[in-house]
């Protein structure tokens, strides 16, 4: 599990025939200098996900229904046995679980977390509880991917919602089956990191780019001396660091503040066919081409036809259908699109087509196939 710090980008928005196109405008002005900490992360310095099964008690009759959620009863039985209380089969069958709900507790263990540190936790209902509002989470161990317990959660839930029901009517505001407990978990075990191990540390870029990796290595070498940093590939830069813990932390803190001039990314157009959205970056250019586009519509209508037999003929009335198919194709004129070397010019050229959002998706793919769109198309 790695934590990536995305590079902040300035964005704009244009409308193409009712289609919102988000435009990355960083290339239209002077290059923005980002810090190393904003485009790269130290390998091994990451957070870990924790999860656990727990019970929320103290609900006002809005808990799980026992007949449909047997694991709620089983969870309460196990918890009471840990407290020294043994439930017989008869007493277990008489349990009323309206005030108890089975929940899944999740938390994020940050890097360098130490025992005793408090964490925020999220609590979500696993069963058919109507509401968790007013409930209290009882002691719940939170485990990592290795099955070990790293934190213990407990506390009163905060549910940002309200609801009421009576006489078959119901009113609800926001979501009532999930809540949050600020500082609701305490770290019981720390996760070791490899930050202080070895003579070098590795920087992992948030995006694979050889030019950016080269610039990061050059910037570090210009500041700390030659051969300190070297780019291993398009995503990883290896840096020699002091072996003393205090000196290594100081070195990393100063290195992360070094400014890196952003490189122009590879030209790319992202198309979301489900939502009809298109995202272009600042490197997209358009070659001269001509586009003709016309809409084709097919209409099929059906009219009932009743065949009535003559009197005393002994026949039966038959109901049939008469279908009519109408094909209509709108005229589409040929529109010449000039060469566009700036992103704003690309937007103006595409706007001149006056195409609908779904039509524009097909037009961009056709322009790319014709070799006039200088960008990579990615459909998500």
Asked if residues 89 and 115 have their Cβ atoms less than 8 Å apart, the reply is: no
Report residue 86 as tokens.
Answer: 């043994």
The residue with tokens 């793919």 is: 365
- List, as one string, the DSSP characters of 279-316: EE-TT-EE--EEEE---EEEEEEEEEEEEPPPTTS---
pLDDT at 320: 74
What average pLDDT does this structure show over 224-251?
93
Looking at domain 32-45+195-261, does it have CATH number 3.30.430?
no
Specify the pLDDT at position 380.
82
CA distance 224 to 217: 11
Q: Over the chain, what is the mean pLDDT?
A: 79
Buried b (16+ CB within 10 A) or exposed e, 68-99: ebeebbebbeebeeeeeeebeeeeeeeeebbb
User: What confidence score (pLDDT) does residue 2 get?
Assistant: 39
Residue pair 289/337 in contact by the 8 Å Cβ criterion: yes
Report yes or no: 258 and 40 within 8 Å, Cβ to Cβ: no
Q: Which residue intervals of the chain bear CATH 3.30.1360? A: 32-45+195-261
Lowest mean pLDDT, pick from 35-39, 97-101, 114-118 = 97-101
pLDDT tens string 168-222 = 666 666 678 899 999 999 999 999 888 888 899 999 998 888 888 999 999 999 9
């Amino acid at each position: 599990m790695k934590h990536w710090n995305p590079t902040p980008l300035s964005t704009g928005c244009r409308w193409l025939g009712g289609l919102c196109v988000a435009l990355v405008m960083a290339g239209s002005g002077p290059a923005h200098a980002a810090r190393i900490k904003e485009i790269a992360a130290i390998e091994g310095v990451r957070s870990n996900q924790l999860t656990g099964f727990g019970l929320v008690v103290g609900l006002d009759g809005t808990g799980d229904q026992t007949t449909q959620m047997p694991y709620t009863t089983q969870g309460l039985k196990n918890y009471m046995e840990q407290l020294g209380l043994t439930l017989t089969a008869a007493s277990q069958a008489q349990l009323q679980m309206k005030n108890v709900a089975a929940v899944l507790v999740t938390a994020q263990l940050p890097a360098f977390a130490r025992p005793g540190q408090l964490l925020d936790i999220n609590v979500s209902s696993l069963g058919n509880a109507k509401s968790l509002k007013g409930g209290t989470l009882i002691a719940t161990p939170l485990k990592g991917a290795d099955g070990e317990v790293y934190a213990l959660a407990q506390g009163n839930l905060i549910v940002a919602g309200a609801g009421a029901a009576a006489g078959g009517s119901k009113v609800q505001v926001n979501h009532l089956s999930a809540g949050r407990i600020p500082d609701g978990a305490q770290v019981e075990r720390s996760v070791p990191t490899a930050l202080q191990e070895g003579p070098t540390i590795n920087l992992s870029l948030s995006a694979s780019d050889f030019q950016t990796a080269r610039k990061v290595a050059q910037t570090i070498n210009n500041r700390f001396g030659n051969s300190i940093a070297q780019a291993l590939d398009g995503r990883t830069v290896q840096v020699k660091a002091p072996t003393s813990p205090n000196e290594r932390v100081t070195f990393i803190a100063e290195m992360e503040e070094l400014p890196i001039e952003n490189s122009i990314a590879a030209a790319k157009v992202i198309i979301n066919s489900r939502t009809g959205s298109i995202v272009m970056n600042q490197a997209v250019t358009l070659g001269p081409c001509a586009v003709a586009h016309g809409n084709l519509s097919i209409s099929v209508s059906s009219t009932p036809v009743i065949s009535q037999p003559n009197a005393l003929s002994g026949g039966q009335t038959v109901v049939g259908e008469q279908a009519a198919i109408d094909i209509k194709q709108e005229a589409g004129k040929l529109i010449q699109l000039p060469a566009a070397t700036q992103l704003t010019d690309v937007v103006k050229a595409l706007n001149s087509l006056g195409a609908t959002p779904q039509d524009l998706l097909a037009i961009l793919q056709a322009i790319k196939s014709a070799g006039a769109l200088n960008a990579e198309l990615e459909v998500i």
